[in-house]
Structure 1
Amino acid sequence: MKQLFLLFLFFSSFIVSSQEKYPKDYFRNPLDIPTVLAGTFGELRSNHFHSGVDIKTQGREGLKIYAAADGYVSRIKVAQYGFGKALYITHPNGYTTVYAHISKYADKIQKYVKSVQYKKEKYATGNLFFKSDKFPVKKGELIAYTGDTGSSGGPHLHYEIRSTKTENIINPLLFGLKPKDSKPPTFQSLKVYTLNNSSRINNQKKNFILTLKNTEKGKYLADRISASGIIGFGVSVFDRLNEAPNKNGIFSLEMLVNGKQFYYHDVETFSFSESKFINLHIDYKHYKKYKRRYQKTYKETKNKLSTYENLINNGRINIKNGLNYTIEIIAKDYNGNSSSIKIPIVGKESNTIFSKSKDSTNYKIIAKNFQKFTKEDITVAFPKNTFYNDLFLNFKVENGVAKIHTPTIPLNKSFTLTFNVSKYSEEEKQQLYIANLEYPKYPRYQYTRKKDSTFYTTTKTLGTYSLVSDKHKPKINILYFKNNQWISKRKTIKVKISDIGSGIKNYRATIDGKWILMEFNHKKGVLTYNFSDKKLLGSKHIFKIVVSDNVGNTNTLSTTFFKKQVN
């Protein structure tokens, strides 16, 4: 009971100190609907931690977004992927708020952004930076409308708070954003690991997934195990809020060994540069194989995340013969709702000898060195510290297909993969690209740089790669009207485009020979032009669109339409 009371005091004091560090009443809710989250800060994502909160917009686009506080629009970026349309406001208190996946900006900002797009004749603007006198805003002022642009999985607002000085991102809940949450996290699974050659679990040199029993709300009990040597644990865990069924991330994870804290991390703040270490924080191999993420309650040596606190032996537990242990793993959400697993362990040495199979590969990787290997017409080059640890690399080439180990090992840097293409004709080279063959039926285009006799790409993913030929032109279909049709009542032109090979690289659309802005919803494959952008002269017009894929196959569609100008 005393230990539980001390734990309560620890967590309560943490919350109080965090709240004192950040102003709770300075920022308002960026939306005027109740806050329900589709994603939490620090949530586990592919190759990164989630850098903000995703606020649900009731499945709708076009809700008003308001400036969270006084300040000025310091940056705008329009991109096809990532944040899509994003807006940044710098505030005088040392923070910057970020609003992403926007459908459109408030009128004066929207007018400026479109002027840039038409001047560049590009949808993507790149980063547009502004001084404080260009777009000053007041707290509660309309700045944009919610949407589904960029790499969004559905309509929502991605909202961030960053330190203006360091660019570190900080959990927006620490500033007073309050979704309703009275539900404790849910443990899905528990895994135990042998962490050196002499470690044993249940008399075996292997990792185990342990059975969990949910004894009461938020309380779990694992099967008793015997162990010896250095071991560690990992958990698959999520949290749900009151008004949403989706699975969110947790706020903190802690491990006690016989009541003593050995491991703790939380998602108060982190930097973008350290986000890649998520692949050392989780059981990356298990995730790549089975698509389930286990958060380790021990820290890998090369893991430079700043979110860990007060670790003992980096969370690694030395189980000694004849002693009994109770491990407790505690997950909490931001509101302090908690769940815990208890794991009973008996220390028992094993006399079983396991011989480690000798790796016969010739490709030894020394992580701190640059290494380059060539087989047949394919070369792989690994810069220094591409790998976190030394290893034997499995590198094979069969029928032009390069098998570079397996994608279950995380990389710190990108490596270069080069194909000698001197045996191909110029026409064949034009249609070739480098593809990832993780799913052989669906080759995935890798950005391919072409020289006279070599093609190369850079990637942070091991696996299977090959040259693939793409002879197919993209497809183009006008939606909702036909050639020589009157469309006076239509507000938009919509075009569906697709490509079955290397993928669409770019498109260019014109009306009467002048460039027009078509926004591409890549999830639906639909381009949209809004007639409100430009006033048309006369009633007869020619719409033309040219679409190219990543190897240069091009398709062109031209159609005539008639439209009376509506004043």
Structure 2
Amino acid sequence: MRILVIVFLLCSEMLTAQVFTPAIYPKGYFRNPLAIPIDLSGNFGELRPNHYHMGLDLKTRQRENQPVHAAADGYVARIKIEPGGFGRALYINHPNGYTTLYAHLNDFNPQLEAWVKEQQYKQQSWRVFLEPPASLFPVKKGDFIAYSGNTGGSQAPHLHFEVRRTADDINLNPLLFGLPLTDNVPPRILRMGIYDRTKSIYEQSARIFPVKLTGGTRYVATPELITVTSPQISFAIGAFDTHTGSTNLNGIFESILYVDEQPAVGFQMDNISYNDTRYLNAHIDYRTKSGGGPWLQQLFDLPGYINSIYKNEKAQGGVIDLSDGGIHKIRIEVKDTYLNSSTLECRVQYKPGTASAVSTTSANNPMFYPLMLDGFEREDCEFYIGERCLYDSVHIRYNRSASASPQAVSAQHSIGASYIPLQEAFLVRIQPTKILTPTEQQRTVMLWTSGTKKDVQKVEWQNNWASARFRDFGTYQLLVDEEPPTIVPVGFTDGADLSKATRISFTIKDNYNKFKNVRPTLDGKWLRFTNDKGRTFIYRFDEYCPPGKHELTIYAEDEAGNATSKTFTFTR
């Protein structure tokens, strides 16, 4: 009888602790896409500015042009070339219902490269998104498909590798597919945060506690018994993971919070959609991070986090009720995909104290709520925050001041704060301080600034109000931009002899660093200039520029619609 009781208790504990059902993926189906051992510089779900990392970053020994191979049988389904983001990327669909993606590439294999070039000339665009027929480029597992590179948003040579479900394009954690990687290293826990959940997450500073390793993989908070003055609290964890033989600080896979040994809330980096990747800003302590502090991953679900990565068991949204005044044991478990784990323990107790001052709603400091459309209107400024803009309730401050810019045709309007993140863009409407001519209206942009950051958007006019949408709070004003962009040749002049050169290049400069519709033509025909990372436009001489004299004309526009064109002659 005693044996039966013990078995029952053990089984009950195992079932209780099973917050996440293990996903079952085909192990060994996908091979390492490189010919060198896997060494990670980034993993799935890792924390990045404004997004989760959606795949694996495979090191290429600090070099470009490592051969990249198809991870399994399939066919090339999509090809993407863009200045930022993936740079040059291939998507391969596989018969088992998954898609693999390979990004930041240099040249594709010769057959693919020739076809892509042909399509670029047909579309007269270097930036393309192509979907070849399934029968055009079949591949076998291990086939050479491209060379690794450093294109697009990459900061150093590496291969970005993803696995997605083909049917819905949801990204999955590639390490759950049994890729050849040795990992016997448990995650490391660095710190813990506690929050008062009776207040907005953006109207408080986290109480951050250091932790110490007590042996093995067990950490304890300092102090181990923590008193709080709010009856409702939530937790956050600062931790990182790595793998055997690596010194890179990668992201953790899973974390679960237990209250008195009962699972309360947890998150897991199993599958995330690109539609939801910006919700990272609802998963981290954004205020702490934006102020120069450390990454803290919240163990609670903000009300505006749609399709969240959290699972709640005993705590509603990850809010822990301590109103009974008792001492409660907290245990936070952190795991990687290979089930190496570490735990952090502490005890917490609610003791009523003096409540801190909370911002109150005023005419220029209204409260806005997630999942609600609301607006703010003044004589010459209005803004509207949509249902999916905010993650938590917060007061949005407004202030008006005169602009010092000679191009300004409105006052400056400060809205919100930089430590309040937005999921979707909100609408800002501003009325100019004078009547603008039709030409001035056509050249009007709205300037956003926040610290040293800035951006401009072309406005839309309605009844003498100019409107634009932005994804960040800050200061906004209207400017009339009548200065066209400048075309700057790099390493050549008009009439140059380029018979010994291998390429020709130029850059575009603009007073607000925003240009578009750049169109180069050679002897009246479109010519393919690359524009990796949105910097220099480069054309490498090929069959489209035979020996002889040529005329290169470059056209460019800025965000306000100012256009410029410049013609150069050269001999090839």
Q: Under a length normalisation based on structure 2, what TM-score does the superposition of the two structures give?
A: 0.86
- 1:202 aligns with none
Matching of residue 514 in structure 1 with residue 516 in structure 2:
no
Deviations 1:451-472 (A, max 9, x none): 6844321123222222245454
Deviation string 1:130-150 (CA, Å, 9 cap, x unpaired) is 332122111111222222222
Distance 1:540 1:341 in 2: 72
User: Do residues 78 (structure 1) and 81 (structure 2) align?
Assistant: yes
Q: Which runs of 5+ in 2 are unaligned?
A: 1-6, 403-410
User: Structure 1's 479 and 459: CA in aligned 2 closer, same or farther, altered over 3 A?
Assistant: closer
Contact 1:437–1:466, Cα closer than 8 Å, also in 2: no
2:362 to 352, 360, 374: 360
Q: Is 1:423 the equivalent of 2:424?
A: no
The whole-number CA distance in structure 1 between the counterparts of 2:446 and 2:25 is 48
Q: CA deviation at 1:178?
A: 3.1
Which of 548, 559, 570 does residue 550 from structure 1 map onto?
559
Displacement of 1:94 in angstroms is 0.9
- Provide the residue aligned with 1:157 in structure 2: 159
Structure 1 equivalent of residue 241 of structure 2: 239
Q: 1:379 aligns with which of 379, 382, 385?
A: 382
Alpha-carbon distance in structure 2 between the residues aligned to 1:364 and 1:306: 24
1:327 is matched with 330
Residue 391 of structure 1: CA displacement?
4.6
Is the counterpart of residue 530 in structure 1 residue 543 in structure 2? no
TM-fit CA distance, 1:295:
0.9
CA contact (8 A) 2:413 2:475 kept: yes
Matching residue of 1:37 = 40
- 1:207 Cα offset (Å): 4.2
Which one-letter code corresponds to 1:455 in the other structure? A
Task: Tell me the residue number matched to 1:209.
Answer: 208
* 1:140 aligned onto 2:152: no
Match of 1:270 in 2: 272
Which position in structure 1 is the counterpart of 2:294? 292
Partners in 2 of 1:321 and 1:312 — Cα distance?
16
How far does the alpha carbon of each residue in 1:228-267 deviate from its partner, in whole angstroms, 9 at most, with x for none?
6221111222223345443211111122223332222211
Which structure 2 residues correspond to residues 395-544 of structure 1 after superposition, within 5 A? 395-399=398-402, 400-421=411-432, 423-439=435-451, 442-446=453-457, 448-449=459-460, 453-522=464-533, 525-536=535-546, 538-544=547-553
- Per-residue CA shift, 1:122-178, capped at 9, x if unaligned? 1222x3223321221111112222222222222222211111123221111111223
Give the secondary structure class of the aligned counterpart of 2:352: coil
Q: One-letter code of the match for 2:425?
A: S
3-state SS of paired residue (1:173): helix
1:100 aligns with 2:103: yes
CA distance in 2, matches of 1:287, 1:162: 29
* 274-283 vs 353-362, which moves further: 353-362
**Helix, strand or coil: the match of 1:495?**
strand
Indicate which of 68, 71, 74 corresponds to 2:71.
68
* 1:6–1:214 distance in 2 versus 1, CA, 3 Å: farther
- 8 Å CA contact 2:305–2:391 kept in 1: the answer is no
| Alpha-carbon distance between aligned partners in 2 of 1:450 and 1:368, rounded to the nearest angstrom | 28
Query: Aligned in 2, Cα 1:498/1:359: closer, same or farther, shift over 3 Å?
Result: same
> 2-side partners of 1:206 and 1:81: how far apart?
34
Q: Could you tell me how far apart the structure 2 residues matched to 1:376 and 1:519 are?
A: 47
User: 1:211 aligns to what SS in structure 2?
Assistant: strand
| 1:394 aligns with one of 384, 397, 405 | 397
Partner SS, residue 287 of structure 2: helix
Q: Are the counterparts in 2 of residues 288 and 408 from structure 1 also a CA contact under 8 Å?
A: yes
Paired letter, 1:414: A
Q: Structure 1 residue 70: deviation in Å?
A: 1.1
Matched-pair identity in %: 32
CA contact (8 A) 2:19 2:266 kept: no
Judged with a 3 Å threshold, the aligned counterparts in structure 2 of structure 1 residues 374 and 304 are, in CA distance, closer, same or farther, namely closer
SS in 2 for 1:287: helix
Structure 2 residue matching 1:325: 3-state secondary structure: strand
Q: Aligned partners of 1:322, 1:539: CA distance in 2, in Å?
A: 87
C-alpha contact 1:502 1:550 (8 A) present in aligned 2: no
Rounded to whole Å, the distance in 2 between the matches of 1:48 and 1:239 is 18
User: How far has the Cα of 1:477 moved from its partner?
Assistant: 3.4
Structure 2 CA distance, aligned partners of 1:356 and 1:26? Answer: 55
CA contact (8 A) 2:262 2:314 kept: no
Q: Give the superposition deviation at 1:326.
A: 2.7
Superposed CA RMSD in Å reads: 3.2
Aligned counterpart for 1:250 among listed residues 234, 249, 252: 252
In structure 2, C-alpha distance between the alignment counterparts of 1:477 and 1:149, rounded to whole Å: 23
| Count of equivalent residues | 546
Q: Aligned letter for 2:55?
A: G
Q: What is the TM-score normalised by the length of structure 1?
A: 0.86
Change beyond 3 A, Cα 1:83–1:447: farther
Confirm whether residue 195 of structure 1 aligns to residue 204 of structure 2. no
